[in-house]
Structure 1
Amino acid sequence: MTLGIPLVALLALIVYLLVRSGELRVWHVILTGLLGFYLDRTHLAEPIGAAVVWIAKGLTHTT
C-alpha cells in the first residue's frame, strides 16, 4: 500500500490554503516544491505535463 496519492492530496490542500492566505513564506515555498516532487511521482504526472504543454502552446501560439 502506497501513500502517494493521499500525501499528494494533503500537500495540495496545504499549498492551496497557503496561497489563498496571501502570505508566502520560505516554508510555504518548500511545501509547494515538495508537492511538485510528489506529484511527479504519481500517475498524474504525464497528463499534467501534457496539459502544461498544451496551455503553453496556446498562450504562445507556437506549434
Structure 2
Amino acid sequence: MFYFVLSTYGTNEFSTKQLEKDYRDVAYATVRTFVMKFEEFGLLKAQKYGSRVKYKVK
C-alpha cells in the first residue's frame, strides 16, 4: 500500500477516505491501520484541519 501511496499521491496530501476509495474500496480499518503504522515509522506526516486529518509522505 505504501508504494501505491507514493505512486498515486507523491508528496501531495491525502485523506484516509480518499485512499480508501482510490485503493479500490479497501476497508477503512485497513487504511487507518496503514496510516497509523506508517506515521509511527516516520514515513507519513499527519496534518489536522479542524476535525479532518490529511496525510503526506515525508
TM-score range, shorter chain: 0.3 to 0.5
Structure whose CA Rg is larger: 1
Q: TM-score, normalised by structure 2?
A: 0.35
Q: TM-score scaled by structure 1?
A: 0.33
**Structure with greater helix percent:** 1
